[in-house]
Amino acid sequence: MAYSDKVLDHYNHPRNVGSMDKSDSAVGTGMVGAPECGDVMKLQIKVNPLTGIIDDAKFKTFGCGSAIASSSLATEWLKGKTVDEALAIKNTDIVNELALPPVKIHCSVLAEDAIKAAITDYKVKQGADVAALAQAH
Partner 1 sequence: MRLWDLLYRMKALPAEYFAVFGISPQLALDLPELQRQFYVLSKLHHPDRFARASADEQRYALDFTSLLNDAWRVFRDPVGRAEYLLKLRGYDTADGRTNTVPAELLEEVFELNMALEEARDGDSGAKKQVAEALTHFTALRQGLDVERDHLFAAYDASPADTHLEALRSLLNRRRYIDNLVRDAQQALS
Q: What contacts 64, CB < 8 A, 6 or more positions away? A: 37, 39, 104, 107
**Residues 14-33 interacting with partner 1 (rule: CB under 8 A):** 31-33
From 10, 81, 104, 106, residue interacting with partner 1 (rule: CB under 8 A)? 106
| Distance of alpha carbon 45 from alpha carbon 65, whole angstroms | 22
107 noted as active-site residue: yes
> CB of residue 88 vs partner 1: minimum separation in angstroms?
18
The active-site residue out of 17, 26, 37, 105 is 37
Question: Nearest CA to 42 among 9, 11, 74, 10?
Answer: 74
Segment contacting partner 1 (CB under 8 A): 9-17, 64-72, 81-89, 105-113? 105-113
113 binds partner 1 (CB under 8 A): yes
3-state helix, strand, coil in the chain (%, to 5): 50, 20, 30
| Chain positions contacting partner 1, by CB under 8 A | 31-38, 40, 42, 60, 62, 106, 109-110, 113
